[in-house]
Amino acid sequence: MPLAPLHAPLRGLTHRMPSRLASTSSRQPLKYSGRIPKPAPPPPGPGETKTPDTQEETQQARKAIMDSIQEDRNKDYKKRYRSFAFKWTSIIVGTPFVIFLTPYLYKRGAQNILKRDIHNANITMQFSSAKNEEDLS
């Protein structure tokens, strides 16, 4: 018995579904709005050698492409992290840390300073008392 009739009803369900669902992130694809670099020259044929100027042009084109990609990434980064929602989210998340951690860290730092001062005072007193004993003897 052929299996085709069994698969026929399922083919209608899966045939029209895309193989990959759309991304749910709000990040847009990179757009190259900057300068368009000159394309790299073709590789040399058999028996030909590269001259230095074509290699330099290739490196310049590669650098221009990388610069335009980096520029687009920087613009995308600035758009994402300077948005209104991101600012408010950082304020809402960061405020409790500032309110509760600052006094705790301040007290802890003050205690450490006091302990250090007391320790230094004890060492100074021990040194001065030992010096006085040497002077007396």
Q: pLDDT, tens digit, for every residue of 85-118?
A: 888 888 999 898 888 888 888 887 777 777 777 7
Backbone angles phi, psi at 44, to 5 degrees: -65, 150
In angstroms, the CA 60 to CA 39 distance is 10
In angstroms, the CA 97 to CA 94 distance is 5
Alpha carbons within 13 A on the beta-carbon side of 119: 6
Count CB atoms within 10 A of the CB of residue 66.
11
The domain limits of the chain are 56-137
| Dihedral class, residue 64 (left if φ above 0, else alpha if ψ from -120 to 50, else beta) | alpha
In angstroms, the CA 103 to CA 113 distance is 15
Cα–Cα distance list, 37 to 29, 31, 59, 72 (Å): 19, 14, 11, 15
Q: pLDDT, tens digit, for every residue of 39-97?
A: 777 777 777 766 656 666 778 888 888 888 888 887 777 776 777 888 888 899 989 88
Q: Which two tokens stand for residue 134?
A: 């040497």
Q: Which two tokens stand for residue 54?
A: 């074509």
pTM of the shown model: 0.25
